[in-house]
């Protein structure tokens, strides 16, 4: 992490939210006239200031669950609500953000330019240029990206740029530019080696934002320790919701 202190910035606290889903099922068509159940009546509730990991083997429905909660996929049945009100994709855009498995970054921009662009689009019309610059510097410092701020993002098949771990941290930082209330991450350690995946700097920034009343959701295929023991999915169903604080 950089020792450079970020300038003070007015902190507009994210609105505390509780996302509740009940009986969410997703069924898709297969070749011919068949149908396959991807999610089978999954229910749960995510509250503010929580860090939760949804775990399960490949094909168990973790990404489909996130897609349903973010409005990417329309559930076949079930209900989703936020603070007791109906929830849809338009509602999600107002207070939540989603980091997919793949890094959707612009290779020709530097790290700083990428963050500056995100702050421009995500901080709203009420933010001044000074507010956006301050938020950009804050994220650079918190995610350990200050040292590579002027390095191109790059592309594996073109001009090389920042490392895989830096790309993952940048992807999350971009989505946090607008201070969302809810952050969902799909396979945040995907593509990283085991050392990078366990690097504390990769996760400590998430913890900081959790303390700022963000609620984070992530899916991972590897075991992890979290503030709550993660629920597990299998064959599209919630198979286990342990009460122990550790795995």
What's the whole-number mean pLDDT along residues 200-214?
A: 52
pLDDT single digits (tens) 84-105: 888 777 777 778 888 888 888 9
pLDDT in the model for residue 228: 42
Answer yes or no: are the C-beta atoms of 115 and 139 closer than 8 Å: yes
Higher pLDDT, 85 or 132: 132
What's the whole-number mean pLDDT along residues 100-121?
A: 91
pLDDT in the model for residue 89: 77
Q: Following DSSP, what letter does each residue of 50-113 receive, concatenated?
A: -EEEEE--TTSSHHHHHHHHHTSS--SEEEEEETTEE--HHHHHHHEEEE-SS----TTSBHHH
pLDDT in the model for residue 131: 94
pLDDT in the model for residue 116: 95
Query: Could you tell me the pTM of the whole model?
Result: 0.72
Answer yes or no: are the C-beta atoms of 172 and 189 closer than 8 Å: no
How far, in Å, CA of 119 to CA of 134, rounded?
10
pLDDT in the model for residue 213: 39
Share of the chain above pLDDT 70, in %: 71
pLDDT single digits (tens) 2-29: 443 433 434 555 678 888 999 999 998 8
């Amino acid at each position: 992490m950089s020792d450079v202190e970020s300038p003070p910035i007015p902190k507009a606290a994210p609105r505390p939210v509780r996302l509740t889903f009940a009986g969410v099922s997703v069924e898709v068509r297969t070749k011919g006239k068949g149908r396959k159940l991807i999610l089978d009546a999954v229910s749960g509730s995510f509250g503010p200031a929580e860090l939760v990991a949804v775990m399960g083997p490949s094909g168990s429905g973790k990404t489909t669950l996130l897609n349903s909660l973010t409005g990417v996929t329309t559930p076949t049945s079930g209900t989703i609500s936020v603070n007791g009100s109906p929830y849809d994709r338009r509602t999600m855009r107002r207070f939540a953000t989603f980091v997919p498995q793949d890094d959707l970054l612009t290779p020709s921009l530097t790290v700083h330019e990428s963050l500056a662009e995100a702050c421009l689009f995500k901080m709203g019309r009420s933010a001044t240029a000074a507010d956006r610059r301050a938020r950009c510097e804050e994220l650079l410092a918190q995610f350990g990206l200050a040292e590579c701020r002027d390095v191109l993002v790059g592309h594996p098949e073109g001009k090389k740029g920042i490392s895989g771990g830096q790309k993952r941290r940048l992807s999350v930082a971009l989505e946090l530019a607008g201070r969302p209330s809810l952050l969902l991450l799909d396979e945040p350690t995907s593509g990283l080696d085991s050392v990078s995946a366990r690097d504390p700097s990769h996760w400590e920034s998430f913890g900081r934002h959790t303390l700022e009343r963000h609620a984070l959701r992530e899916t991972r295929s590897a075991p992890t320790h979290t503030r709550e023991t993660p629920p597990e999915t299998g064959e599209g169903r919630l198979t286990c919701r342990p009460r122990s604080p550790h795995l």
